[in-house]
Amino acid sequence: MNPIFKETQSFNKWWHYLLISSPFILFIILMILTQTGVIETKSGEKEPLTFLISIITAFVFMVWFIAMRLTTTIDETGITAHFFGIPFCKKYINWNDIQSIQVVEYSPLFDYGGWGVRWSFNGWCYNVSGKIGIKIIQKNGKPFLIGTQQAEETKKIIAHYFNH
C-alpha cells in the first residue's frame, strides 16, 4: 500500500486576524462617525446604504480570508497544491516532471514578497506561514515552492516516491 501525505494549512496566527479585521473595524468606526455627524460627507447627508454595503463588503472579505486553505497532497502519482478560495490556484506536478525536490528553509518575505499565492524571480510559491517549504524544480526548469508545517513527514514521503 502506498502512503499518502495530506496537509491542510490556514491563516490562523493572531496577527493574520488583526490584519484582516483592521479594514472591517476601520469601516465601522468611519461609518459610525459619519452617521453620528462627527464626520460630514460632501453632500452633508447621512448615507445608511453606503454604511451597510461597506460593512457587508468588509465582512464578506474577512470571511473569505478566514476560509482560505492550502492543501498539499503527496501520493504515488505526484504532488498537488490547492489554495482553496483563490480561483485557478491548483497545481499538480507528476513525479516524472520533477527534476529535483527538497525540503528547504526560505524567507517568505524576502524570497517571495510575503504569504499566500506569490510570484517572484524565484518562481511561484503557495504558502501560509512559517519558513519551511517543498522546493520543486520541474524538468522544464520552472521552480515551485509549497510551504509546509510538517517538514519531517514531508521529507519521508518525498524520499519514498522520488528516486533521483
In this predicted model, what pLDDT tens digit does every residue of 82-96 receive, in sequence order?
999 888 999 999 999
In whole angstroms, what is the distance from residue 153 CA to residue 45 CA? 60
In the numeric block, the cell 484582516 is attached to 20
Whether residue 48 has pLDDT greater than 90: no
Q: Is residue 44 very low, low, confident or very high in pLDDT (cuts 50, 70, 90)?
A: low
In a domain, 102, yes or no: yes
Segments forming the whole domain that contains residue 137: 94-161
In a domain, 6, yes or no: no
Q: Model's pTM, two decimal places?
A: 0.79
- Closest-CA residue to 8 (of 71, 66, 67): 71
Considering the domain architecture, whether residues 52 and 99 belong to the same structural domain is answered as no
Considering the domain architecture, whether residues 101 and 150 belong to the same structural domain is answered as yes
Rounded to 5 degrees, what are φ and ψ at 109?
A: -70, -50
In a domain, 87, yes or no: no
Considering the domain architecture, whether residues 50 and 107 belong to the same structural domain is answered as no
